Structure 1
Amino acid sequence: MTPAGDSPPECRFEDGTIHLDGLEESQVRSLRDSTPQLELQPDSRTGGWRVPAFRYAAIRAATADLTIADTVLECEPVPDLQSAYELREYQHEALSAWLETDRWAGHQLDIAGLERAPAGVLELPTGSGKTVIALKAIERLGVPTLVVVPTIDLLEQWIDELETEFDIPIGRFGGGEQRLEPITVSTYDSAYLKADSVGDRFGCVVFDEVHHLGGEGYREIARLLAAPARLGLTATFERPDGAHEIIEEIVGPLVHRVNVDDLAGEHLAPYDVKRLEVALTPAEREEYERAQETFTDYLATSNIRMQSGSDYQELVKRSGSDPRAREALLARQRAREIARGSAAKIDALEGVLEDHRGERTLVFTAYNDLAYDVSERFLIPTITHQTGATERREILERFREGTYSRIATSNVLDEGVDVPDASVAVVLSGSGSEREFTQRLGRILRPKHDGSRALLYEIVTADTSEERVAARRR
């Protein structure tokens, strides 16, 4: 309690931080002892204290027994929101699991219309309706919400969906426009630039493809926002670099997971995965072995074991000043190129395309050059990072309407793009990322009206490093 006649401590937002002024020394000690994760730091300008904005919910919980003058959130009212969607059972279970979390540890605090602050990540397969779950979450909370997405394509899709469902103006940060509304959609890039200035305007934030927050820069978005309610959406939460632990701290833990196999056959198409092994030609084998030998000979004398990403970074670092390291690095890259783009792979792809003539098929590659080779060999359109937005939309629309039945791509369609229904996918080359594999599989799992099974082919070059890569992603 605050002594009679004394002004209560003040809690306010400033440039991505929460400032606490007027606390007594004993209160500061108590906060530090009871909640060390607050990151409470002295503010020499005011004589008060400050914490990162994302600690706002924790601050409110830790000071629940104090009288606090709280001016952190400046949220405009949101009209009554009603979505026409009806959740499927697994979607309802996911939403309920999120709503049952509580960053305020059971304290019933009325802030910006929120009595609870659910926070956490939902992991569901591509095509399972994560957006629908988020729409229902926004409807249930009824507070100003920022939705953060990785691409302009997703920005447009979210805005269209929100405007259709809620019939209110939707703000946007991205694509050359900066317009704030109680419900706003932003790209990660724009949110990174604006979070410190709008961090007090939202009671809830939704991070689509939340695994992007593991990046060094993007994680600052979540740290600079005061929004106590936080929802992360992804098809693959865990990151090989362990950065999902950072996401757990700034968004919340993984609170619900649905696997592809849980939904396949009922809510998603049943599917099969076929692995086709091909062999290098004698000339390719000779060049591959020569490149591998150059690479392994250097490793044997360098104390680099290539067991982690840091080992590879060390090799890259040394290649700047050590000619042998550079030769080894180039040899490794050449060996991988040979394995990923072998002539037999193209022949195997020809057989797959012939077997599935007329079926909507996506061909995934790891390199632009290989995607263009496939395009030229089989006369099918290609989408890469070099494809302009207008051309990409035109290709996808023609794929949707059936004018095109096949598309080749290099990573661009893994996430962040609304890809029309396809029934066959071919992984001609890829990384060892489980996330990448799951996203590519998800592109063909929308339910088929005829009840047919989706089919994903992996074409792998035998007796090369590609076998280990394929095993890692599975």
Structure 2
Amino acid sequence: MYLSPKRFLNDAEFREYLKNIRKIAVFDKEVRKWRIDCNVVISNVKSKSELTSIIQTLKKYVDIPEELEDELYRCITSLTTAYLNSSNLSFKLDVKVPRSVFDQLSAYCKYYNGRFYLKDPGYVSQVEKILEKYGIKLVYNRRLIESIRLKCTVRRSGGNLILKFNYYCENIVRRLNEVCTVEYYIEKPIFDEAGNYVETRIVKKMLKFFKFSMDTLTGISCIGLLDRILDVLRAMDVLIIYGIEEKEDIKLNLKCNFKLLPHQELAYELWSKRKRGTIAIFTRGGKSFIALKAIYDTRKPTIIFVTTRELAHTWMEYLSNYLGLNKALVGYLGEGIKKIREITVAIYNSAVKNIDLIRDKFELAIFDEGHHVPANTFKTVAVKLDALYRMALSATPERRDKNHTLLFAFCGPLLVNINYEQLVKLRIVAPIEVFKTVFAKGPEDKIKKLIDILSEVKGSKVIIFTQYVDTAKELWKTLIIKGFSASLITGETDPKNRKFAFRDFLKGNIKIIVTTTVLDEGVTVPDAEVAIIYEGSGEPRQMIQRIGRVLGYYPGKTAKVYELIDITNSKEKRAYFKRKWVKELYIFPGIEKYVEETKRGALFGERSEKLKMQTKLEI
């Protein structure tokens, strides 16, 4: 409806007319008349009495029909009241408000699906003032709103962590988004125009593991991030209603056929506080016994993740020897076998392929060789598994690509980090008496240098590491021809034949094992004293793991490590320079003292007895 003066107005009358008409109408330039606009009324008129005054003033200059008066009153009465829902802190405005009002409200509310949700109960006063300015009264129970507290029900469903809130709080949602976002780094090879490799660049990605639904006021995340999420909720004074029930205890009859050493007891005590965490103990420090203790004490369905079938079978030996479990009762996921039991050993690759089979079956997850967890495919297991309790074991958890951040996020923070020097001083591992790099000129000279080393350590038990099966086979044949007593163990070796080879090695019938990467990680090789790295990658972790194969301790034993490098082979040289710093981990001031003490065969009482129990291996 349009309005225009019914007579000529003098200057004073025009100013009064203009002042009032602008509060209820906009000027239409096409028809050169004022058009009534409800949004303008809402924006400028704060009360019914003020509108009455405006109408009475304008009636002196324009005709205002009764139906127009009713329309003007409806503009303010239809939006004079908005009701704040105390259950979810939201309200609805029945008529569209000006953009300026919406922008002001957006500072304190989140607009979703036609409703405004307070970002925080404390913002109610600010919102009330904004609405009052435009003639809208916010109706709510002040005492109830002031006393309301954010609540979050935490539960587990379908392998996910479910967070149900009683109202929307922007600060909480923002913080949960932050702690559930994990940095992840991808190594990207760079090539020149000719296709030649130039360098490797690390590209950072942000992986998000939190989603929030405004419809249901529900957040969804991963069980692996539970501790991070609970820490945020507690820090922001959220009332947590914890609805996660533990899975039932296992019915297996377990025995504890071992005792923890002091450093293991410390690590276990720290882990027990939350039943989550990463334990870094240098190779041969007895990490597995901490996990066995967790299995024994928690009595919950347990899955143990390993990298290889060899390590899987080693764990089955552990479960049998130290927890008294019949191997037939232990589950196995790997090599095409899908045998799920209350305690199951799973190879990472197989776990990824069968994640839906195991996702909600276990309450305790042991991630052996935990530095593998952040691998592009393996991380799926830690992300999707709904196990409450988690323990990651690794001699070297920190990764070159920085992705140990994901390991710590999903398995728990680093609790202890016990290095080689500390283990030597505790008499847990053998001190290294010789750490020598031998350079050769060509393959023939390399073989000759190897024979020289074997002659030098004659009588000792030796493991020779190669990188490739063909190399291992040729080397083994050469040693046999030259009269050495040696066994060959590769990934192709039948498990029974490997067992016989280890038995002969243990008894001293065989003094040399020639192997590939198959013995790099997790396989307990008893009484080996000398490691010869005949071939190796440039990966420092591989070097550390290989050296670890000869660090098993018993009174009187020292270890010897030799690297053989063919300087005519550019690939070998590059690999050597990439890993050469590893030597610094083993050579520390005063190591000579421990070498001499050990060579004298000093005994160390109860500690040695406990260690003897832990180094027992029945083959």
User: Normalization by structure 1: what TM-score?
Assistant: 0.73
The answer (yes or no) to whether the contact 2:256–2:324 under 8 Å persists in 1 is: no
Partner residue of 1:91 out of 264, 267, 273:
264
- Work out which of the residue numbers 296, 304, 312 in structure 2 matches 1:155: 312
Contact between 1:421 and 1:443, CA under 8 Å: does it hold in 2?
Answer: no
Please give the alpha-carbon distance, in whole angstroms, between the structure 2 residues aligned to 1:44 and 1:171. 42
2:210 equivalent among 24, 40, 43:
40
Q: What 5-or-longer segments of structure 1 have no aligned partner?
A: 101-116, 282-341
Q: Does 1:118 align with 2:275?
A: yes
Q: Name the SS of the counterpart of 2:260 in structure 1.
A: coil
What is the one-letter code of the residue matched to 1:456? V
Q: Does 1:416 align with 2:522?
A: yes
SS of 1:381's equivalent?
A: strand
State the shift of 1:142 in Å. 3.6
Cα distance in 1, alignment partners of residues 448 and 579 from structure 2: 19
Note the 1:184-333 alignment, pairs <5 A. 184-264=344-424, 266-280=427-441
CA distance in 1 between counterparts of 2:479 and 2:215 reads 67
Q: Taking CA–CA contacts closer than 8 Å with sequence separation of 6 or more, which of the two structures ends up with the larger relative contact order?
A: 1
Q: Deviations over 1:7-53 (max 9, x none)?
A: 99573321x423445x34425x3531343324331469988542123
The one-letter code of the counterpart of 1:26 is: Y
Amino acid at match of 2:174: D
Go from structure 1 to structure 2 and tell me whether the alpha carbon gap of 1:61 and 1:470 turns closer, same or farther (over 3 Å shift).
closer
Shift of 1:71: 5.2
C-alpha distance in structure 2 between counterparts of 1:426 and 1:259, whole Å: 22
Give the residue type in structure 2 aligned to 1:245: T
C-alpha distance 448-206 of structure 1, shift in aligned 2 (>3 A): same
Which moves more between the two structures, 59-68 or 357-366?
Answer: 59-68
C-alpha spacing 1:171/1:60, structure 2 compared with 1 (3 Å): farther
Aligned counterpart, 1:143 = 300
Q: Which amino acid is the alignment partner of residue 226 of structure 1?
A: D
Question: Which residue matches 1:12?
Answer: 156
The answer on whether the counterparts of 1:124 and 1:234 sit within 8 Å (CA) in structure 2 is yes
Partners of 1:226 and 1:127 lie apart in 2 by: 30
Counterpart in 1 of 2:565? 460
Aligned to 1:306: none
Give the 3 Å change call, closer, same or farther, for CA 425–30 of structure 1 in structure 2: same
C-alpha displacement at 1:75, in angstroms?
3.5
Distance 2:418 2:239 in 1: 41
Contact 2:489/2:514, CA 8 A, preserved across alignment:
yes
Shift of the alpha carbon at 1:394? Answer: 3.0
Higher fraction of strand: 2
Cα pair distance change 1:205/1:411, threshold 3 Å: same
**Counterpart among 464, 470, 481 of residue 363 in structure 1:** 464
List aligned pairs for 1:428-443, cutoff 5 A: 428-443=534-549
Larger mean CA deviation between 117-126 and 403-412 belongs to: 117-126
State how far apart, in whole Å, the 2-side matches of 1:191 and 1:128 are: 27
Tell me the distance in 1 between the aligned counterparts of 2:467 and 2:152: 59
> CA 1:208/1:20 → structure 2, altered by over 3 Å: closer, same or farther?
same
Instruction: Give the drift of 1:197.
Output: 4.2
Preserved CA contact (<8 Å) 1:122 1:234: yes
Does structure 2 retain, via aligned residues, the 8 Å contact 1:460–1:470? no
Q: Does 1:374 align with 2:544?
A: no
* Gap change, CA 1:344 and 1:49, over 3 Å in 2: same
TM-aligned CA distance change 1:163 to 1:381, over 3 Å: closer
Deviations 1:296-323 (A, max 9, x none): xxxxxxxxxxxxxxxxxxxxxxxxxxxx
Distance 2:342 2:494 in 1: 32
Q: Number of aligned pairs?
A: 392
Deviation per CA, 1:217-245: give whole Å up to 9, x if none.
Answer: 11110111222322111111122222212
Give the letter aligned to residue 497 of structure 2.
Answer: E
Which of 446, 471, 474 is equivalent to 2:580? 471
**Structure 1 residues 13 and 57, CA gap change in structure 2 (3 angstroms):** farther
1:455 maps to amino acid: K
Contact 1:13/1:73 (CA < 8 Å) preserved in 2? no
Q: Residues 387-431 of structure 1: CA distance to partner in whole angstroms, max 9, x if unpaired?
A: 343333332232223222101112211113232221111111212
Counterpart secondary structure, 1:132: helix
1:57/1:199 Cα in 2 relative to 1: closer, same or farther (>3 Å)?
A: farther
The equivalent of 1:316 in structure 2 is none
Q: Is the 8 A contact 2:280 2:417 kept in 1?
A: yes
Structure-2 residue corresponding to 1:127:
284
Q: Offset at 1:247?
A: 1.0
Higher Cα radius of gyration: 2
Structure 1 counterpart of 2:334, which letter? Answer: G
The CA distance in 2 between the partners of 1:359 and 1:183, in whole Å, is 38
| RMSD, aligned CA | 3.2
Once residues 448 and 185 of structure 1 are traced to their aligned partners in structure 2, the CA distance between those partners, rounded to angstroms, is: 29
TM-score (norm 2): 0.57
Give yes or no for contact 1:98–1:256 (8 Å, CA) kept in 2: no
Amino acid at match of 2:456: D
Question: How far apart are the structure 1 equivalents of 2:239 and 2:357?
Answer: 28
Give yes or no for contact 1:423–1:454 (8 Å, CA) kept in 2. yes
Provide the rounded CA distance (Å) in 2 between the counterparts of 1:279 and 1:163.
45
| CA distance in structure 1 between the aligned counterparts of 2:322 and 2:429, rounded to whole angstroms | 23
User: CA–CA distance in 1 between the matches of 2:346 and 2:87?
Assistant: 41
Contact 2:284 2:551 in 1 (8 A): yes
Q: CA, structure 1 residues 378+131, in 2 after alignment: closer, same or farther (shift >3 Å)? A: same
What one-letter code is carried by the residue in structure 1 that aligns with 2:412? G
Q: Partners in 1 of 2:378 and 2:214 — Cα distance? A: 28
**1:362-392 CA deviation, whole Å, 9 max, x = no partner?**
1112233322221111113322233343333
Q: Check conservation: 1:203, 1:227, Cα contact below 8 A.
A: yes
Q: Check 1:119–1:2 CA distance in 2 against 1; reply closer, same or farther (3 A cut).
A: farther
Shift of 1:349: 0.4
Structure 1 residues 218 and 13, CA gap change in structure 2 (3 angstroms) = same
| Post-superposition offset of 1:63 | 5.5
In structure 2, distance between residues paired with 1:224 and 1:188: 13
1:81 Cα shift?
A: 5.3
C-alpha distance in structure 1 between counterparts of 2:462 and 2:323, whole Å = 35
Aligned partners of 1:76 and 1:182 also within 8 Å: no
CA positional deviation for 1:454? 1.3
Structure 2 unaligned blocks of 5 or more: 1-85, 89-150, 181-208, 481-485, 584-619
Shift of 1:77: 4.9
Q: 402-411 vs 149-158, which deviates more?
A: 149-158
CA displacement at 1:125 relative to structure 2: 2.5
The verdict on how the C-alpha distance between 1:44 and 1:75 changes in structure 2, with shifts beyond 3 A counting, is farther
Please tell me whether the aligned partners of residues 155 and 162 of structure 2 are also in contact (alpha carbons under 8 angstroms): yes
Paired with 1:365 and 1:459, the residues of 2 have a C-alpha distance of 10
The alpha-carbon deviation at position 54 of structure 1 amounts to 1.8
Whichever residue aligns with residue 149 of structure 1, its letter is V
Structure-1 separation of matches of 2:153 and 2:546? 52
Match of 1:214, SS?
coil
**Structure 1 range deviating more: 228-237 or 60-69:** 60-69
